[in-house]
Amino acid sequence: MSSLSADQRKALDTQAVNNFREYLQIPSVQPDINYDDCVTFLKKQAKSLGLPIKVIEITSGKPIVIITWEGSEPDSPTILLNSHMDVVPVFEDKWTYKPFSAHIDKKGNIYARGSQDMKCVGIQYLEAVRRLKLQGVTLRRTLHISFVPDEEIGGVEGMRKFVHTNEFRDLNVAFALDEGMANPTEEFALFYAERCIWHMHIHCPGNPGHGSLLLDNTAGEKVNYILNKFFEFRRREKQKLAENPTLTVGDVTTVNLTQMKGGIQTNVIPPEFVIVVDCRIPITVDIKKWEETINRWCSDAGQGVRIEYEQKQPQVPATKLDNTNPFWIAFKEASDELGLKLKPQVFPGGTDSRYVRSIGLPALGFSPMNKTPIRLHDHDEYLSKTMFLRGIDIYCKIIENVANVEERSG
């Protein structure tokens, strides 16, 4: 393997930043995205790398892009490097710079929606491969670099469907990397599991009537009872976090009231209120018992209360971080060699990793961003040029290690 000269590295750094900024300038913002510009951009990247590209559409208008670097043992199970093309909406008047300008300030910070979540990672994969190829590196296992749609709205038409297709099975994936998040400390966040998401619409019917009366069995009384139960539970979960510094938010159950619906006029007691609760459940919780608790609260609140689930995910087994997982061992060895301090934890939200794990494959969530404020989904999302470029070097080592894990099956 040859090393890169200083001039080569400088040229590659410039190319990487330019590619990152060009990708950020594509406003692939939810909702109603036209992904054509993303696909065109990625086709150009594949051509510059001399690698084949495939575009799959399980759902019309929702392309899944796969760039493949074949390994020396093409029959061995492969490595998947996943990222998503879409980004969340912006409130442009709250931004210091235009959110799709990819402006670089005097400190070298690159401002754009998607700079942390997660166009940075997609480009870092590609630029790491570019450097490895230039150095004459040959990997044992084939790499598939995937760019999927609609992760920010649950991945329903993206990774969730994709993992159950023949096209995915044909990739012969053994291990996947996907997004993590920034960390303001020295440590790098590493995610080996995710909480399951329940989105509940709790219908509270009651006696309607005039607002001057004290009717029994009103919708508002039932809402009050249920919310008191949820908020008392929420207080106890917050207390767990406050009392145990080793815990992260991914280790507790979060419940948040996100919507309230009902009522037609100030002086009319309505026939129903609906409250919407976002609940995220960690892997340590018995979800059957948790569901029984919620159902009991609803029953105790009064007659007719029912739950309609917008989303009710099952618990997905965590990826093992032990000697039974050779890809974790390879990842950890690369991290140790680079001097990275990893903080393994449960992801607090939801990523496409959950769909990969749901079919029994190990997956880790990792975005190489330490000493970086968490700005995903926030105004003025940014990533420093220095951290972006360092992330490429980190991926070079990690990719080489995990893709050279020896095949042991059979």
Are 118 and 367 spatial neighbours (Cβ–Cβ below 8 Å)?
A: yes
Look at residues 268, 293, 312 and tell me which one is the last residue of a structural domain: 312
What average pLDDT does range 262-287 have in this prediction? 97
Asked whether residue 179 carries a pLDDT value surpassing 60, the answer given is yes
What CATH number should be reported for the domain holding residue 135? 3.40.630.10
Q: Do 138 and 90 belong to one domain?
A: yes
Are 338 and 395 spatial neighbours (Cβ–Cβ below 8 Å)?
A: no
113 is a domain residue: yes
Q: Do 123 and 206 belong to one domain?
A: no
Q: Do 98 and 62 belong to one domain?
A: yes
Say whether 210 counts as a known binding-site residue: no
Q: Do 188 and 125 belong to one domain?
A: yes
Separation between Cα atoms, residue 117 and residue 87, nearest integer Å: 7
Are 322 and 354 spatial neighbours (Cβ–Cβ below 8 Å)?
A: no
Q: Do 214 and 225 belong to one domain?
A: yes
pLDDT for residue 355:
97
Say whether 272 counts as a known binding-site residue: no
Residue 139: which region, alpha, beta or left (left: phi > 0; alpha: psi -120 to 50)?
A: beta
> Tell me: the pLDDT tens digits for 120-143?
999 999 999 999 999 999 999 999
- The one catalytic residue in 86, 194, 352, 400 is 86
pLDDT for residue 332:
98
Q: Do 149 and 211 belong to one domain?
A: no
Separation between Cα atoms, residue 173 and residue 146, nearest integer Å: 12
Separation between Cα atoms, residue 29 and residue 19, nearest integer Å: 18
One-letter amino acid for residue 254 of the chain: T
Nearest partner of 85 among 24, 40, 147, 176, judged by Cα: 147
Number of domains in the chain: 2
> Tell me: the pLDDT tens digits for 152-170?
999 999 999 999 999 999 9
What average pLDDT does range 244-267 have in this prediction? 97
Q: Do 225 and 237 belong to one domain?
A: yes
Q: Do 203 and 341 belong to one domain?
A: no
| Residue carrying the six token digits 């093992």 | 320
Are 327 and 362 spatial neighbours (Cβ–Cβ below 8 Å)?
A: yes
Q: Do 188 and 328 belong to one domain?
A: yes
Please say if 86 is a catalytic residue.
Answer: yes
386 is a domain residue: yes
Asked whether residue 2 carries a pLDDT value surpassing 80, the answer given is no
Say whether 377 counts as a known binding-site residue: yes
Are 162 and 66 spatial neighbours (Cβ–Cβ below 8 Å)?
A: no
409 is a domain residue: no
Bridge-based pairing of strands 196-205 and 272-281 is antiparallel
Q: Do 213 and 153 belong to one domain?
A: no
Q: Is the pTM of this model over 0.85?
A: yes
410 is a domain residue: no
Question: pLDDT category, 409, cuts 50, 70, 90?
Answer: low
Say whether 310 counts as a known binding-site residue: no
What CATH number should be reported for the domain holding residue 251? 3.30.70.360
408 is a domain residue: no
Are 29 and 39 spatial neighbours (Cβ–Cβ below 8 Å)?
A: no
pLDDT for residue 1:
63
Backbone angles phi, psi at 21, to 5 degrees: -65, -40
Residue range(s) defining the domain that contains residue 185: 6-194+318-403
- The one catalytic residue in 7, 57, 92, 151 is 151
Rounded mean pLDDT of the chain? 97
